[in-house]
Amino acid sequence: MIFPNQQCEENLYSQGYNRIAGVDEAGRGAWAGPIVAAAVIMPRDFYLGGICDSKMLREERREELAFEIKKIALAWAVGVIDIGYINQYNIGSANRKAIEEAVKNLRVKPDYAVIDGVCGGKKGNGDEQGYAHGKPHTGHPLKREGVCVFEYIKDGDAAVYSIAAASIIAKVARDRILKKEHLKFPCYGFDKNKGYGTKFHQEALIKNGICEIHRILYKPIRRIMEGE
């Protein structure tokens, strides 16, 4: 297993940034349930071993690491965007909003955020996504509302320590939500598949139809709704 390092953070520290938030989301590709983003500011002088992309960890290990991360982090927070928003708008908008809420919910304001993924197909700059200067224009909410300087890093959850930490917090938070949803809608197996399109989930949809937390804008769900 390849573990992320702190090279990105050290480069930013050398440029004068002190409070660096790693940000990642969980649930973008799921067929049901909310999307959850997490933001984490890790301490500069302490490295917590075992942190890596949440997808590479067993559920029990994620829970253990989430507990440890929360204990040592300078700040951590989540943003949860529910199915109502996802179905009214789209998952891209919901993803950006979840990121915005997670960063804004931090009790310690970051001066830089590194976010897993790609925005606009390229690394951020002042016009596309880089400096969050807060002028009234459309675009990424972190820039529009003047939250902080930020950039997207492709596969950041596998390479950047603080993003990997955020991926664990986001995944654990969302999994807990889906386990609760399973109690209301047990036929879909949300406790196991966490809303993703597994074979069991697909068969349950064909047999039972959709429930109130399914993402009706998603093509597989729409096909089932239309009886294809």
Both tokens of 149, joined, read: 């300087």
Q: How high is the pLDDT of residue 22?
A: 97
Q: Is 24 annotated as belonging to a binding site?
A: yes
The DSSP result for 164-187, as a single string, is HHHHHHHHHHHHHHHHHHHHH-GG
Which of 39-75 are b and which e, b meaning 16 or more Cβ less than 10 Å from the residue's Cβ? Answer: bbbbeeeeeeeebbbbeebeeeebeebbeebeeebbb
- What's this model's pTM, rounded to 2 decimal places? 0.88
Q: Is 111 annotated as belonging to a binding site?
A: no
The answer to whether 116 touches 153, Cβ cutoff 8 Å, is yes
Q: How high is the pLDDT of residue 143?
A: 58
Q: Which one of 3.90.1150.10, 3.30.420.10, 2.130.10.10, 3.40.640.10 gives the CATH number of domain 7-179?
A: 3.30.420.10
Domain map (residue ranges) of the chain: 7-179, 182-225
> Residue with structure tokens 């925005």?
119
Tell me 2's DSSP state: P
Q: How high is the pLDDT of residue 140?
A: 58
Could you report the average pLDDT of every consecutive run of 10 residues in the chain (228 residues)? Answer: 88 95 97 98 92 91 97 98 96 94 95 86 34 35 65 93 97 98 98 98 95 95 83
Both tokens of 77, joined, read: 């927070």
Q: Is 82 annotated as belonging to a binding site?
A: no
